[in-house]
Amino acid sequence: MTTFLSKIYHFILLTCSKYNIDESHGIIHSMNTLHYTHEIFTNEARRYPFMIGQEKVAYISAAIHDMCDKKYMNEEEGIDEIARFLKDDVTVEEMDIVKKIIGTMSYSKVKKNGFPDLGTWQNTYHCVREADLLCAYDFDRSMIYHMSRGEFNIEEAFINAEQLFHKRVFKHKEDGLLLSDFAKYKSVLLERSARNRILNWRTILHKKL
């Protein structure tokens, strides 16, 4: 698995370079999503033993989920590149599930279409999706994304990021997007940290530097 993960992250580095994927959706975000997926999956698999054996798909999906993000590339072309990269290392079924997970897990698609029905893979889908949502509580990451999109004024990036958090991120629980016990628990801690970060940024930005 270690060698395979090295191969995956080499692919991610190349893809980020090719499509100018900024730090907010690059390798650090990939690693954070992978770690949250591991924690959620480990807890969920204790309750649902049928998930054992699906870990590889969960980890792959978590690591590469933004390597087809429509904000940076044509989504279908990105998924095709991922499929070509993975074809020698996964089964046909595993590849199909990876495509379905990364193609339906985004916040916008879930809000528009709801959750897909992936049968026995449903819990694994939610592990990866919820891990990505937990990463969204990183306020600095949101600011970095806004700045990379051309908002070089850090004050404007702060304002837009704060609006996004109040409109979307702080409503994850009430919108019914967090299902696992771990994600619900962790989101409380992450929201507290994010709110504190917002207060700190507001203080910094109001100083006469």
**Residue-range definition of the domain harbouring residue 63:** 2-205
Residue 93 has pLDDT above 80, yes or no: yes
Q: Is the pLDDT of residue 1 over 60?
A: no
Give tens-digit pLDDT for 69-80: 999 999 999 999
In the chain, the number of structural domains is 1
Please give the angle made by the CA atoms of 75, 79 and 85, to the nearest 5 degrees: 145
Determine how many CB atoms are found less than 10 A away from the CB of residue 78. Answer: 21
CATH of the domain at 121: 1.10.3210
Look at residue 22 in the predicted model and tell me its pLDDT: 93
Supply the pLDDT for residue 149: 81
In sequence order, the 6+-apart residues with CB closer than 8 A to the CB of 46 are none
Sign of CA dihedral 84, 85, 88, 94: negative
